[in-house]
A and B are shown apart, each in its own frame.
Chain A
Amino acid sequence: MQEVPTGMTEPVLSVRNLTVRLPSGADRENAIEHISFDIGPREIVCIVGESGSGKSVTAQAVMGLLPKRDLVVTAGETLLQGEDTTKAHIHRLRELRGTRMGMIFQEPMTALNPVQRVGQQIAEVLEIHTDLSATEQRQRVLDIMKAVQLPDPELMIDAYPHQLSGGQRQRIMIAAALILDPALLIADEPTTALDVTTQAQILRLIKEMQSRRNTGVMFITHDFGVVSEIADRVVVMQHGRVVEQGTREEVLRRPREAYTKMLVAAVPSLVPPKRVPVEGKLALEAKNLSKIYGRRTFLSRKARIVKAAQDVNFHIRKGETLGIVGESGSGKTTVARCIARLIEPSEGEILIEGANVAHLPERDLRPYRRDIQIVFQDPYRSLNPRRTVGQSIVEGPINFGMPREKAIDKARELMGLVGLSPDALDRYPHQFSGGQRQRICIARALAMGPTLLIADEAVSALDVSVQAQVLELLDNIRKQFDLAVLFITHDLRVAAQICDRIAVMKNGVVVEHGTTVDVFRSPQHEYTKALFDAAPGRDFGAQQSVA
C-alpha cells in the first residue's frame, strides 16, 4: 500500500507481550508467552524454533486465524501498522487479510484448492477486496503471475493446482498473497516442502518481491541454512518463549543463549569429515537395476512410460553407509523399494551373498526378507497406531519363528539400545514424540537382525537437535552390528556427515558416484554442482564440523 511508512523507525508489525493460552490438559499452560518483536518495512525477520516452539501460533495470532475454541489470546497485542489485530472485529480482520497482511504456507501441495483453477484462486483476493471487473481482475492476475516469474501465465492461469510443480504452486501462493501489496507477508515454512534448487529460487523470489514492494516479512523456519540466506533479523523461540533475538550476524555467529548455541551447533556441516574407506565383506550389490512404470497393457493402448530408475549400479559393504542423494522424482526411493523388494525391478540384479533376489517370487524371497529392513520418513505414520510398540517390534521376529518370550526379551534389549526405557514397550505410538518414534522404528528394524538397513529420509521429518541424536544413533548401531546402511536423503548436510560414499541421482539415473569427501570437494557433474550451489546457507556452518 502506498501509505506504508518507509522509515525503519515505524514497524509494520509490532508484537507486544503476546500470550496465547492452550486448552486445558495440554502439556503446558500457554502456547506462547510474552512474545515481543518488531518487523519493519523491507525487513525480513526469521522466527526460528523447533516443533512446538509456538512459531506458527504466533503467525496465526497475527492473522486472527487461531482456532477459536482451542487457542485464546489472553494478553498482549499484535499491532499491524498500529492496529491491534487480536482485538479487531472479524469483519475488520477479513478486510485486513489479503490487503494489509498476506500469508503463505508450508505445503504448496495442499494449500491450494485442488478443484479450482489457480488463476481463480489468485483472483479471489481481488474479488473479495476490490470492485474490479472480471477482465480487469484477469489482467491483474496475469501481471502478478508474470511478476512471480511463472512461465506462460496466459496458459497457466487456467490450470489446476495438480498440473503445476511444487515450486510453481508456491509461486501461485506468493502471487495471491502479494497481489494487493500488503504491508506484511507472513511466510510459514514456505520452502520446507520444496527441493533445494526450487527452494533457492523461491527464497530469491520472496526477497526480490519484498524489497521491491517494501513488504515486511515474518519468515517462519526451522532451517538455519535458510535463516543465514534470507534473514535481516532473527527471533529464536523455544517452548513458547523468545529465547534470543538480534541481527542475523549476532544470532548465527555469536549466539548468547545456550539453546541457540545448541541449535546452531546441531546443524550438520556441509564439509564432510575424513573417513577411512570400509573394507568389509559385500553386503549387497545392485547391477543395472531399472524400474519402468506404465507398461502398455491390452486395456489402455497409449500407456505413458516412466523410467523411475535406469541402469543403477552400486554395492554396499558391511559397516558402510552409502548415501543416495537427489531431489523429489529423482528415483532414490524407487531404488530403495526395489532393493527391499517392496516392488519388483523391471530389469537388473540384486545380489545378496551371491544370490540374485531381484525377480524371486514372494515364496522364495521370504528367507531374504529379514536381511533388508527399512526405516521410513514419517515416524507418525509408519507405526500402527492401534498396536503397542512392543507388538510392533516383536511381530517380525515371531513371524520368522522366534518364540514370543525370546522376542520380547530381545525387544526390551533393543529399546535400551536405542535409548528408550524397556518398560515403554506396552505403550502406544501416540504416547511418544517424533524422535522417540523414529528410535522405535529403528528398534523394530533391528529386531529382524538385518544385514542392510535402508533409511529412507529417516531424519527429514525431525527437528535439528533430534535429528543430530538420531543420526548419532544410526551411526552407533552401524558400528555395533557391522551393518550396511543405504541412506536415502535430499539433505546434503546430513549426507555429508553420515555417508562414506554418495550416489547422486537425477531423473532415475545416477549422475555421480564417489566417496563423500570427493563428491563434496570436487563435484564433477553439472547437476551435482547445481545442487551444491542451491544449498541454503553454503557459508554457514562451514567453520564447524560435527564429528
Chain B
Amino acid sequence: MAGYILRRVLATLPVLAIVAVLVFLMLRLTPSDPAAIIAGDYASPQQIEGIRERLGLNEPILKQFVIWIGGVLRGDFGESFFYKKQVAELIGERLEPTLSLSVVTILLVILVAVPLGIIAAHNHGTWIDRVVMGFSVLGFSIPVFVVGYILIYVFAVTLDWLPVQGYQRISEGVGGWLLRLILPAMTLSVVFIAFIARMTRTSVLEVLNEDYIRTARAKGQTELKVLIRHALANAAVPILTIIGLTVAILIGGVVVTESVYTLPGLGLLTVDAVLARDYPTIQAVILLFSFAYVLINLLVDVAYTFLDPRIRY
C-alpha cells in the first residue's frame, strides 16, 4: 500500500511538469502584453518598454522558463505583476475562502444527494422516486448563475435571511463564516446534488437486486439497515468515484461562484489575474489546481480499499 502511494505520487511529477510547460507556453503565446496593462492607458512606449525590461519579459522564452521553473523548484513562485506581492503569499491569503466553499459544498452535496438517491431507489417506481428524479432533471438543467441569482433574490433580497455576498474569515467566528457560505454553497451544489442523487439511485438499485440483500432480509434485518449496511456499503465505490470527480469539477466551478458572490478566493484571484495578464499568479494557480486534481484522484483510489476489501493495490 505504502509503495503504491509512493509510486502514484512519483507518477504525478511528469503530469505537473507537462502542465507547467503548457501553461507557460500558452500564456506567452496569447496576443497580449502585461506591461501595457500595468502601465495603463496613458503610458508612453518607453514606459511600457521599461516595465517589460523590469519584469524580464524581454528575455528569450526559454530563459524566462528556466528562471521561472528554477524558482518553482525552490518553492518560489515569483512576484505577482499586478499585486506586487509574492505569489505564494497571495495564494495563501486566498486559499481559505476557496477551501471553505469547496468543503461546505461537498458536504452539502453528500448529505443531501446520497440520502435522496437511497430514498428514490428504495421507493423505486413510486411517486417519491419520480419526484426526486424530476428535481434531479431540473437541477441538472438550470445554469449555475441562474440558480445563484434566484437564490440571492429569494433568500437575501426578498426574505433577508442571508447576506447577499462577501466572506468572513473562520477565525472571526464560525457562525458568520457559515452564514456567508450557505448561499454560494447551495448555488454550487445544485448540479452536483442532481447528478449524485441520480448516480446513487442507480448504484443502489443495482445492488438491491443482489442475493446478499435477500440474505439480510432473510435474517430479519430492518429495511433501513438493509439499505445502509448492505446496499449502500456495496454501492459506495461508484458513488465515491463520482464524488471524487465532483470535487475536481467543483474547483473549476468556484471561479464562477466566487465572481457572483464576490468571495475573495482563488477563483476570483484567477479571474483578476487573467484580466491583468498576471503571468506568475496564473501559472501558480493552475499548477496548484492540477496538483489538487491529481491528489484527489489518489485519495479516491486509496479510499476504495477501505470501502471494498476486494480492492488491493
Contact = CB atoms under 8 A, between A and B. Distances in A.
A129 B222 CA distance: 11
Nearest to B126: A69
Contact of A63 (B216, B218, B221, B309): B218
A288 interface: no
A115 interface: yes
Contacts of A98: 218-220
Given A65-B218, A95-B220, A160 B310 contact: yes
Interface stretch (A106-114, A367-375, A378-386, A433-441): A106-114
Contacts of B219: 97-98, 124-125, 128, 176
Nearest to A69: B125
A65 B221 CA distance: 12
A112 B216 CA distance: 9
Interface in B287-313: 307-310
Given A113-B233, A114-B308, A105 B220 contact: no
A328 to B, nearest CB: 18
Nearest to B210: A110
Given A110-B211, A113-B216, A124 B221 contact: yes
A331 interface: no
Contacts of B212: 110-114
A97 B125 CA distance: 27
A447 interface: no
Contacts of B217: 65, 97
A129 B216 CA distance: 13
A327 B308 CA distance: 29
A116 B212 CA distance: 11
Given A110-B210, A113-B230, A173 B309 contact: no
A94 B221 contact: yes
A102 B218 contact: yes
A162 interface: yes
Nearest to A112: B212
Nearest to B308: A115
Q: Is the interface of B mostly helix, strand, loop or mixed?
A: helix
A124 B310 CA distance: 21
Nearest to A113: B212
Interface of A is mostly: mixed
Contacts of A115: 233-234, 236, 307-310
Interface string A80-122: 0000000000000111111100110101001111111000010
B220 A112 contact: no
Nearest to B237: A115
A105 B215 CA distance: 8
B211 A114 contact: no
A63 B216 CA distance: 12
B214 interface: yes
A29 to B, nearest CB: 23
Interface string B207-245: 000111011111111100000011001101000000000
A107 B222 CA distance: 23
Contacts of A128: 219-222
Contacts of A110: 210-212
A59 to B, nearest CB: 10
Nearest to A186: B218
Interface of B: 125, 210-212, 214-222, 229-230, 233-234, 236, 307-310
17 contacts: A65-B217, A95-B220, A96-B220, A103-B218, A105-B211, A110-B212, A111-B211, A111-B215, A112-B212, A114-B310, A115-B233, A115-B307, A115-B309, A115-B310, A128-B219, A160-B310, A162-B310
Given A97-B220, A99-B220, A115-B309, 15 more contacts: A63-B218, A69-B125, A94-B220, A97-B218, A98-B219, A110-B211, A111-B211, A111-B212, A114-B310, A115-B307, A115-B310, A116-B230, A125-B219, A128-B219, A176-B215
Interface of A: 63, 65, 69, 93-99, 102-103, 105, 107, 110-116, 121, 124-125, 128-129, 160, 162, 173, 176-177
A-B pairs, top 6 by smallest CB distance, nearest first, are A97-B220, A98-B220, A110-B211, A103-B218, A94-B220, A111-B211
